């Protein structure tokens, strides 16, 4: 932990990333009680107000809704869904990847082939089609579908991490003292894959945000009036010339959040994987 802190101190980009991420988490937790408007509140006298005018920090959209407040509220849903998605898909991936890699042979081939087939359809296309067909996405359906779409990828990472440990002698030692497979997988091996697993979860967190924003943008994400960053962009795209702030600020919110997580995750992978 000490070296982790030391290395963090020497990586300005990681510090920037972590700070921005913490800022967004703070905004998601406490922001809604601090902003002056709710996400549905329409200021009928102040439609398409430029940023900074009439008490609207980032302006208003065509319906007179405060862009800043909507972004703050939006951070809540996107962070929640992305966090759940990254945890859920990593969890499922670890279970599947560990079982496939640990037992090897036919079990492995079976799971690998299924994963390969599922990976033949790009995650975004898969989620988009399924969500589009099901219609009326909720936080629950969004989380589950995106998690399923990402599970093949996380399973591969988990399988790879397991394989680096599987052929070590401490696993052999555990076997010849008669430990159960579950014990070997989750007590002997799992703690040693924690580095790659944590890196995968954070990277997956960033991917999930990109995915959820893209789904929102395509109109198959959360339904209005729930504030969604991706949706805010497509809703106002037609007025980009006259009111660019309605489009640019939500875009920047997405950009800052994903880049921040990526910077931090990049740092984590340097520290937790390469150093070992």
Partner 1 sequence: MKTENVLEIKELNVHYTTLTTTVVALKDVSLHVGPKEALGIIGESGCGKSTLSYAIMDYLPLNGASTGQILFKGEDLLALSNKEMQKFRGNRIAMVYQNPYSSLNPSLTIGFQLEEVTMFHRGFTREKARETAIETLIDLHLGDAVGIVKRYPHQISGGMQQRICIAMALLCRPDLMILDEPTTALDVTTEAVILDLILELKEKYDMSMIYISHDIGVVNKVSDRIAIMYRGEVVETGDKKAIFDDPQHPYTRALINCIPRSGVVKEHVKLNTIPGYVTRRSAEESGCPFVARCEQKNSTCEEQYGMKEWAENHYTACDRAYATDVPAKKLQVDEGSIPDTGDAEHKNVLELDNVYRYFGHAGKRVRAVDGINLTMERNSVLGVVGESGCGKSTMGHTVTGLYPPTKGRILFDGTDISVSWRKRSPDVLKNLQLIFQNPGRSLNPSFTLEQIIGRPMKKLLGIESKQERRKLIIDILKKVDLGEEYISRKPKQLSGGEMQRAAVARAFSISPNLLVCDEPTSALDASVQASVLNLLVDLQKESGASYMFISHDLNVINYLSDQIMVMYLGRICEYGTKNEVVGSPHHPYTEALLSAVPDVDPTKTRGTIRLKGAPPNPTQKIVGCPFSGRCHRKIGKICDTTPPPKVDISETHYVYCHLPPHEMDIIATKKGM
Partner 2 sequence: MSFMKRFLSRLGFMALTVVAMSFLIFLLVEIMPGDVAQTVLGQAATEESVAALRETMKLNDPLMVRYGRWASGYIQGDLGESLYMRGVQINSIFWRRVGHSMLLALSALIFYVPLSIFLGVLAGVRAGKFSDSVISFLGLATMALPEFVSGILLITVFSVNLNLLPLTSVIPIGQTLWQNLEILVLPACSITFVMFGYVSRMQRSSMIGVMNSDYVRAAILKGMPKRYVIFRHALKNALLPTITIIGMNMGWLFGGLIVVETLFGFPGLGSLTMTAIKTRDIPLIEACVLFITIIFVFSTFITDMMYSFLNPKIRFKREDL
Q: Which is nearer to partner 1, 36 or 181 (CB)?
A: 181
Q: Which does 23 bind (CB under 5 to 8 A by kind): partner 2, partner 1, none?
A: none
> How far apart (Å, rounded) are the C-alpha atoms in residues 227 and 213?
11
Burial (CB count within 10 angstroms: exposed 0-12, middle 13-18, buried 19+), residue 161? buried
Contact string 99-128 vs partner 2 (x = CB under 8 A): --------------x--xx-xxxxxxx--x
> How far apart (Å, rounded) are the C-alpha atoms in residues 225 and 39?
8
Q: Which is nearer to partner 2, 185 or 233 (CB)?
A: 233
Query: Considering only residues 10, 45, 177, 241, which one is a binding residue for partner 2 as defined by CB under 8 A?
Result: 241
Query: Considering only residues 230, 231, 235, 268, which one is a binding residue for partner 2 as defined by CB under 8 A?
Result: 230
Which 187-216 positions form the footprint of partner 1 (CB under 8 A)? Answer: 188, 191-192
β-strand partners of 222: 137
Q: Which is nearer to partner 1, 113 or 175 (CB)?
A: 175
β-strand partners of 53: 56
Position 132 contacts partner 2 (CB under 8 A)? yes
Q: Which is nearer to partner 2, 185 or 212 (CB)?
A: 212
Could you tell me the two tokens for 263? 């910077």
Tell me which DSSP letter residue 56 carries.
B
Render 84-143 in DSSP notation, one character per residue: HHHHHHHHHHHHHHHHHHHH-HHHHHHHHHHHHHHHTS-HHHHHHHHHHHH-SB-HHHHH
Tokens 């990976």, residue? 119
Q: Which does 206 bind (CB under 5 to 8 A by kind): partner 1, partner 2, none?
A: partner 2
* Residue among 208, 199, 220 at smallest CA distance from 254: 208
Q: Which is nearer to partner 2, 128 or 171 (CB)?
A: 128
Tell me which DSSP letter residue 60 carries.
B
CB 214 within 8 A of CB 255: no
Q: Which does 130 bind (CB under 5 to 8 A by kind): partner 2, partner 1, none?
A: partner 2
Could you tell me the two tokens for 28? 């998601």
Position 233 contacts partner 2 (CB under 8 A)? yes
Query: Considering only residues 105, 120, 135, 169, which one is a binding residue for partner 1 as defined by CB under 8 A?
Result: 169
Q: Where does this chain bind partner 1 (CB under 8 A)? A: 6-7, 10, 168-170, 172-179, 188, 191-192
């Amino acid at each position: 932990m000490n070296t982790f802190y030391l290395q963090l101190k020497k990586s300005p980009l990681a510090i920037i990333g972590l700070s921005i991420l913490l800022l967004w988490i703070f905004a998601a937790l406490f922001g809604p009680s601090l902003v002056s408007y709710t996400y549905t509140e329409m200021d009928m006298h102040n439609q398409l107000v430029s940023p900074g005018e009439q008490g609207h920090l980032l302006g208003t959209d065509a319906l007179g809704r405060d862009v800043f407040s909507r972004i703050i509220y939006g951070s809540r849903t996107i962070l929640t869904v992305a966090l759940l998605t990254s945890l859920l898909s990593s969890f499922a991936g670890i279970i599947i990847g560990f079982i496939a890699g640990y037992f090897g042979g036919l079990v492995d081939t079976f799971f690998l082939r299924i994963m390969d087939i599922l990976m033949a359809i790009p995650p975004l296309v898969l989620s988009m089609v399924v969500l589009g067909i099901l219609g009326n996405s909720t936080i629950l359906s969004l989380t589950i579908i995106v998690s399923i779409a990402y599970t093949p990828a996380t399973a591969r990472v988990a399988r790879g991490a397991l394989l680096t440990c599987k052929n070590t002698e401490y696993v052999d030692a555990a076997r010849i003292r008669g430990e159960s497979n579950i014990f070997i997988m989750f007590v002997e091996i799992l703690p040693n894959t924690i580095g790659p697993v944590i890196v995968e979860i954070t990277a997956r967190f960033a991917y999930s945000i990109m995915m959820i924003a893209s789904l929102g943008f395509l109109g198959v994400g959360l339904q209005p009036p729930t504030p969604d960053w991706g949706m805010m962009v497509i809703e106002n795209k037609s007025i980009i010339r006259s009111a660019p702030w309605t489009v640019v600020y939500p875009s920047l919110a997405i950009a800052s959040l994903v880049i921040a997580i990526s910077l931090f995750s990049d740092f984590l992978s340097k520290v937790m994987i390469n150093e070992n």
